[in-house]
A = this chain, B = another copy of it.
Amino acid sequence: MNETSGTAAAQPTERIPAAERREQILAAASVVFGERGYSGATTDQVAKAAGISQPYVVRMFGTKEKLFLEVLARALDRLIVGFRQIIAEPREPGDDEVELLAARLGAAYVDLIEDRGILLSLMQAFISGHNPVVGAKARAGFLEIYRMLRDEAGFPPDAIREFLADGMLFNTLLAIRLPDIFDEDPDAEELMRCTFRGKLDVVLGATAAEAAEHA
């Protein structure tokens, strides 16, 4: 409340290289698409968040759909590259190799989806199964993660299911903003604690930091 009109735009916008501007737009778009969904988001909201004019956003990406697809591709890429890195890290052999690796991957995942734009862009893709383009990317991305866990990480089926299931529950609880109602309902915190266990501090730290940033 009482902000001075939108997200600081107008004024004689600075001229910056297209590549850099592209990144700004993608970052802004990730947030806006995440909050409002593909259909709910407008190119004007993205433009305002990036501090430029609406036609410029369209000019740079061709169409709103292409912009969304690029946002989604980036999110999937960060996820896949991040996981692959962790799997490739040297580990000592032992009985709990799977468990340790799962814990590391889980922690990395929580770190990643602390970025609400990434979290929600992924979830937007998940519920777009009916869309030929977006749906196909979502399916392909999910299967790539599956294969990585099976072939590169060497997880047995049960470990894969558990890992993916936990991830989807993380997604959901963060997406519905459960931490927002810790004050009103103690069960909210209890459920978060039972779900995230050790990782809860990380999540709450991020949430608090984000809140502070927006204040």
Contact = CB atoms under 8 A, between A and B. Distances in A.
Contacts of A146: 187, 190-191
A165 B176 contact: no
A165 B188 CA distance: 16
A194 interface: yes
Interface in A98-145: 120, 123-127, 129-130, 135, 138-139, 142-143
Contacts of A164: 169, 195
Contacts of A129: 175-177, 180
A173 B164 CA distance: 10
Interface stretch (A19-27, A33-41, A44-52, A86-94): A33-41
A187 B130 contact: no
Contact of A160 (B142, B171, B173, B194): B194
A161 interface: yes
A185 B185 CA distance: 44
Contacts of A176: 125-126, 129, 135, 138-139, 142
Interface in A13-71: 35-40
B120 A127 contact: yes
A201 interface: no
A165 B169 contact: yes
A-B residue pairs, 3 tightest by C-beta: A39-B40, A168-B168, A165-B165
Interface of A: 35-40, 120, 123-127, 129-130, 135, 138-139, 142-143, 146-147, 157-158, 160-162, 164-166, 168-169, 171-173, 175-178, 180-181, 185, 187-188, 190-191, 194-195
